[in-house]
Structure 1
């Protein structure tokens, strides 16, 4: 997947993850960063459990990335001490 594809997937996953975790976005840049990191974390988690990780720009990869983004956002809020609104 290209860098642009990772950024777009990260933006979508970060935005959806932010809406799931705390009902508001973190900001465009932080949503992208957390979404891309979430895609990587989701891929690692899914691979650990015997499934394939991010496979390209498709719905399955988006689901993997959103799950990873939720995990990353949960950890981000736990470390920074920010509460969900």
Structure 2
């Protein structure tokens, strides 16, 4: 059941993050979901690190605070993905 919740959270967080993030991002629903899931894991792990002082691979929960953390994490993931895939016009 956790996997389904992470997929739903990732889809929601990825879609909201792409809507908030300035500029145009490529990719379809699959890339949105993957970046959202990565953001949920990254955000959840960072919040767990700040709360407990230990680094654990955890995803944000399917709640309002968890969604906010996942959206912020997804926006960071979109930013990093944009840096990696940016082509230089030389």
TM-score (norm 1): 0.80
Aligned residues: 80
TM superposition shift of 1:22? 3.7
Q: Deviation per CA, 1:6-48, whole angstroms, max 9, x where unpaired?
A: 1110000011111122455631101110000000111122233
**Residue 16, structure 1, aligned to residue 11, structure 2:** no
The unaligned stretches of length 5 or more in structure 1 are none
- Residues of 1 paired with 2:8 and 2:23: CA distance? 20
2:55 aligned partner:
none
Q: Which runs of 4+ in 1 moved over 6 A?
A: none
Moved more, 68-77 or 40-49: 40-49
Structure having the higher Rg: 2
- Residues of 1 paired with 2:62 and 2:30: CA distance? 20
2:39 aligned partner:
38
- Residues of 2 paired with 1:24 and 1:3: CA distance? 29
The unaligned stretches of length 5 or more in structure 2 are 53-58
TM-score (norm 2): 0.76
**2:85 pairs with one of 76, 80, 83:** 80
